[in-house]
Structure 1
Amino acid sequence: MAQTQSQPRIALLIDADNAPAEKIDEILTELSTFGVIDIRRAYGNWIKHGLIGWQNKLLEYALRPMQQFDYSKHKNATDMAMTVDAMELLYTEQPDAFGIVSSDADFTPLVMHLRSKGAAVYGFGAAQTPKPFVNACSRFLYLEALGEDAVIAPGADAAVAEAAKAEPAQAKPVAAVEQPATFTGSAASMAAEGCLRIPSSQLRQDSSLMSLLRTAVNAVQDEDGWAKVGAVGTQIGNKASFDARNYGYATLSKLLSATQAFELRDEGTSRVAVRDKRAAKPGRSGN
């Protein structure tokens, strides 16, 4: 019998004090594209009335409740308990990746340590999550970008919107091509408003985003200026934490197209490539 390659193991740790219970299904759906979530823990002071919403999800989603009393008034100890458990799991269970659900920047040193030891870290949090935590993760997704809350921003190009509806996002393995990006103020602010598809004009005004995209394309382009979108995604992922959905687009290729600063060829295929319009010279072949 032929051996099947085992899937990456993921440990999901949830800061229930700083995460909405109604997003757990979307979080699990997203994480399941990277591997098997065989460790699922939700941390909080479960005697608090505010965690009733989470209590109703524990059995339904096989989440293990981790009780953590507050040691002092107005300050919960959940983040410390999660950090201690994450370190123990890192060296005992040795999962391939961690899912951290929280909007608390206190987890930034933990994330940096986990990644330095070879574990991928997938973060989930609200749009106001501090950027140090966001950028420390292998990939970070705003909770507002998951599920039905992701809506088209006013002024978004109709053609881009229709294209996005026609091409669903594809599941990716842990070493995903369109993996890990730097998050800018515009993405976070649009997410906070529930308007996640940022229109072309605003994308082009985002200097950090445009620099990230152009630098990545330039780094892997061929002599004619064309770069495989997969290679572009890998280059970005090696540099920072990135997900096109935080800008409202299902894939990196859709985001590149929406900026209107790049031309694409072989769209809809595994050969899709991109070229900076500024690099396209008259008479240069597009094939």
Structure 2
Amino acid sequence: MSGNLASEADRLAVLIDADNASAAIADGLLAEVAKYGVASVKRIYGDWTDNRLGSWKECLLRNSIQPIQQFGYTKGKNATDSAMIIDAMDLLYTRRFDGFCIVSSDSDFTRLASRIREDGLQVYGFGERKTPQPFVVACHKFIYTELLIMAEAEGVAEIPGKSKAGNELRQDTRLLRLLRSSVEAVSDEDGWAQLGPVGSHIAKQAPDFDVREYGFSKLSGLVSATELFDVTQRTLANNKSATYIRDKRKK
């Protein structure tokens, strides 16, 4: 996948806030995590005596996710957050992981994400579109769970008929700014930029950028659809093929 932030061999700790995540995302979540590494630890936190979490129980068995019991000591107070944060720090100090996946829409995990990043580890956030922006930008990559549910329901990463047309994409000023500034940042003297580094640079600017928002499964498809970039394939020194793009205004 172009622009991936980590190696497939990276060891990841997946921590799920059951109070702030739907069981409907379980399969899509783990499939997404697999793009970034191996889920060496999979834990989910909540009060499992609460019937509201019943939909998670089958998912836990099927996906080998370890439930962590956390009673709500005081009504209206969420004890799950504290338990997740304490466990995350314990796992961080083991130095056995390359990254963390924090699954929640709660801004309380903003500082945790920042702290993990301070140790040089990758942080992948997963939450609903309502997730506060401070938590989103504290992560290296943030994936909206609505996209995971949609892809799971359709059974494909790129949904036929949902891809946005070129004229619609060209009206999206945020998209064009991200694409053009990233190409400019990693391009050579002739304006050509390899697509992989372009994707990585976009992620640095906008952790929640996701080509699936526009109906595409790959960045190359989105770039081509804008019709604003020249696209070509080149053979590298290792005989592998790579996609290069250039802003058409550079001609």
> TM above 0.5, one fold?
yes
Match of 1:37 among 28, 39, 51: 39
Secondary structure of 2:180 counterpart: helix
Match of 1:264 among 228, 231, 234: 231
Secondary structure of 1:271 counterpart: strand
Partners of 1:142 and 1:246 within 8 A in 2? no
Structure 2 residue identity aligned to 1:270: S
With over 3 angstroms needed to count, the CA separation of the structure-2 counterparts of 1:250 and 1:75, relative to structure 1, is: same
Which runs of structure 2 are paired with 1:1-287 in the superposition (5 Å)? 7-92=9-94, 94-146=96-148, 147-149=151-153, 197-241=163-207, 242-266=209-233, 270-280=241-251
CA drift at 1:208: 2.6
Relative contact order, CA 8 A, sep 6+: which one is greater? Answer: 2
CA drift at 1:121: 1.2
Q: How many percent of aligned residue pairs carry the same amino acid?
A: 48
Partners of 2:114 and 2:139 within 8 A in 1? yes
Number of equivalent positions: 238
1:104-130 deviations in whole A, cap 9, x for unaligned? 121111111111111111111112222
Structure 2 residue identity aligned to 1:23: I
Structure 2 residue identity aligned to 1:50: R
Q: Distance in 1 between matches of 2:132 and 2:139?
A: 12
Q: Distance in 2 between matches of 1:89 and 1:97?
A: 10
Partners of 2:28 and 2:152 within 8 A in 1? no
Q: Distance in 2 between matches of 1:257 and 1:250?
A: 13
CA drift at 1:149: 4.3
Q: Distance in 2 between matches of 1:70 and 1:260?
A: 54
For structure 2, list consecutive stretches of 5 or more residues without a partner in the other structure: 1-6, 235-239
Partners of 2:8 and 2:35 within 8 A in 1? no
1:22-60 deviations in whole A, cap 9, x for unaligned? 211111111122222121100011111110001122222
**202-211 vs 88-97, greater mean Cα deviation:** 202-211
1:79-121 deviations in whole A, cap 9, x for unaligned? 1211111111100253111111111121111111111111111
Partners of 1:8 and 1:96 within 8 A in 2? yes
Secondary structure of 1:41 counterpart: strand
Structure 1 residue identity aligned to 2:152: E
For structure 1, list consecutive stretches of 5 or more residues without a partner in the other structure: 153-160, 167-194, 281-287
